[in-house]
Chains A and B, each alone.
Chain A
Amino acid sequence: MRQEVASVTANAELMPQVHLMWLESSQIASPAQPGQFVMVRCGEDFEYPLRRPFSIHQQDGSKLALLFNMVGRGTHWLSQCQAGDELDLLGPLGNGFSIHPGSHNLLLVAGGIGIAPLVFLAQQALSQGQAVTLLLGASTAPQLYPEHLLPPEVKLVTATEDGTAGKKGMITDLLPDFTGWADQIFACGPISMYQTMTKQNFVTTKPVQVSLEVRMGCGLGVCYGCTVKTKSGLKQVCQDGPIFDLDDILWEELANGGV
């Protein structure tokens, strides 16, 4: 884990309200693993005292990419950054996804911006010779992550809530058709998506790893801002997570707290 001043090499709106940013960050990019994240310092001086956590979206040698939704002050500020600007990053942080030895077929489930950590995971899995199916859901067609940015070997299945692309409905509606094929399932999306999955019995017959989002202070295990209750006790999302087993999390409690 390092603190590094990284220079922005590209930053553009990829989908409405969603930016793709590439950074030159050799010390953080090289050791990064899929599912890990960085804490990005936002704003001038100390106006935004808390760094913002973002999953590592892609890694390419000494560069890494972030894919972020513009939701508040920090992400709006980030969206204004231009090539050549410098950003202060901490990372790579957290545990990352773990692909079990012997898993051949990986099912990736992305809800909205939840695609962010899964592209890196897909790239790594494919390079190791595993097969990847990606179930990609969004509210409407323009919010779907562009297919041409995915590795061509990924089998892509899409759904939109309004039916403007792919199957009409929630991405979790498609799960019954693919869980039989999968050796492992990896999901990233809103808590409501995870809650739906816990209720789908066929899903829980397979090992499912999910990425959790909670508000973070330090990202280093110092502040206890990110603590959640799990079936195996208190966990710090920034250290013990952000990747957890789906059935380890007490979802009702977390949904009640929200972020």
Chain B
Amino acid sequence: MNLSVQLAPKNKHGLSLANPVMTASGTFGYGTEYSHLFDIQKLGAIVCKGTTLKPREGNPQPRLAETPCGVLNSIGLQNIGIEAVIRDKAPVWAGWRVPVMVNIVGIRVEDYARMAAKLDGVAGISGIEVNIGCPNIKAGGAEFGARPDLAAEVTAAVKAATSLPLLVKLTPNTADIAGVAKAVMRAGADAISLINTPRGIAIDVSRRRPLLGNVTGGLSGPAIKPIALYMVYTVAGAVEVPVVGVGGIATASDAIEFIMAGASAVQIGTASFTNPRAPLDILEGIEQFMKKEGIEDIAELIGAGRR
């Protein structure tokens, strides 16, 4: 049975995954944290916490709220910064079989480019996931990923700074997901992952104020699955690069839905909080499904549910 997928066919390094199950940025730390709970080397790839040029402190408490089948988070990109990732984490990853990608996020276009340049050629780093779901100061606080032109500008800047395989991660907080996807593909994205979290709010009724310290947060978990699936379906029909599905995937059957919608790989996020073994359980479930259905190659499933 062949489960392997290639996420960057046109890139000189390529990005070959042993299987299509990845972990989503911000929900799996740097990979090391889960390594004593199960064999993380069995996964397709790991994407590390969103990383900025300088370390960030993040937002005030509370940062989390549970909603029906979902989670609102306003972590505010607390992270150790790109230098610490390169110095402390990459050497660990270099000894791993599972490829690790660094999720980068900037306030300005130059931030993205500078981080990409620093990551280029670092042992242990197999690719970059460019998170364009961050408010952009120059564009009056709109997310880079809200507009095709801004999204393309970031992608092109990163592309020019590195030869590493590039995954561009789209935000659902846009009116034109297909337009953004096409724009980043033309600007050099090797693959496209989606979705990041749609924006949401919860109100604390006893205190009569927003529950999250930052007022708004991003919604994740099973609650967003149909939205994510719709966007993956739409984008897979609009671009010629591999698509990676993210959003509310908790079971193997969820993952297979994304693959049938056109995703070449999937990322598991919030489900890892509910069950740290979820990524592995999902991988095993996909294998069982393929066995049961007599499918030899995962490629037979990619896009199989489209019409």
Interface positions of A (Cβ within 8 A of B) = 1-3, 41, 45-51, 88, 90, 214-218, 220-229, 234, 253-254, 256-259
Contact = CB atoms under 8 A, between A and B. Distances in A.
B237 interface: no
Contacts of A41: 274-275
A49 B61 contact: no
Interface in B40-78: 49, 57-58, 60-66, 68-71, 73, 75, 78
Interface in B266-301: 270-277
Interface string B29-42: 10001101100000
A interface secondary structure, majority: loop
Given A214-B62, A223-B26, A224-B63, A51 B33 contact: no
Contacts of B195: none
Contacts of A47: 68-69
**Which 6 A-B pairs have CB atoms at the shortest separation, nearest pair first?**
A257-B61, A222-B29, A225-B64, A224-B78, A46-B250, A49-B221
A50 B64 contact: yes
Contacts of B273: 49-51, 217-218, 223
A220 B63 CA distance: 16
A90 B34 CA distance: 12
B271 A49 contact: yes
A222 B73 contact: no
Nearest to B75: A224
> Could you say which interface size class chain B belongs to?
35 or more
Nearest to B221: A49
A224 B58 contact: yes
Contacts of B275: 41, 88
Contacts of A221: 29, 33
A49 B222 contact: yes
A26 B33 CA distance: 22
B196 to A, nearest CB: 15
Given A222-B29, A224-B78, A49 B34 contact: no
Interface string B252-275: 000000000000000000111111
B233 interface: no
Interface in B209-264: 213, 220-222, 250-251
A227 B58 contact: yes
B27 interface: yes
B93 interface: no
B112 interface: no
B43 to A, nearest CB: 15
A90 B203 CA distance: 30
A225 B75 contact: yes
A222 B26 CA distance: 7
A227 B69 contact: no
B71 A214 contact: no
B144 interface: no
A46 B221 contact: yes
Contact of A49 (B37, B57, B207, B274): B274
Contacts of B277: 3
A257 to B, nearest CB: 3
Contacts of A88: 275
Given A1-B37, A234-B58, 14 more contacts: A1-B36, A3-B37, A3-B276, A3-B277, A46-B69, A46-B251, A49-B71, A50-B273, A50-B274, A218-B33, A222-B28, A222-B49, A223-B29, A224-B63
Interface in B13-30: 26-29
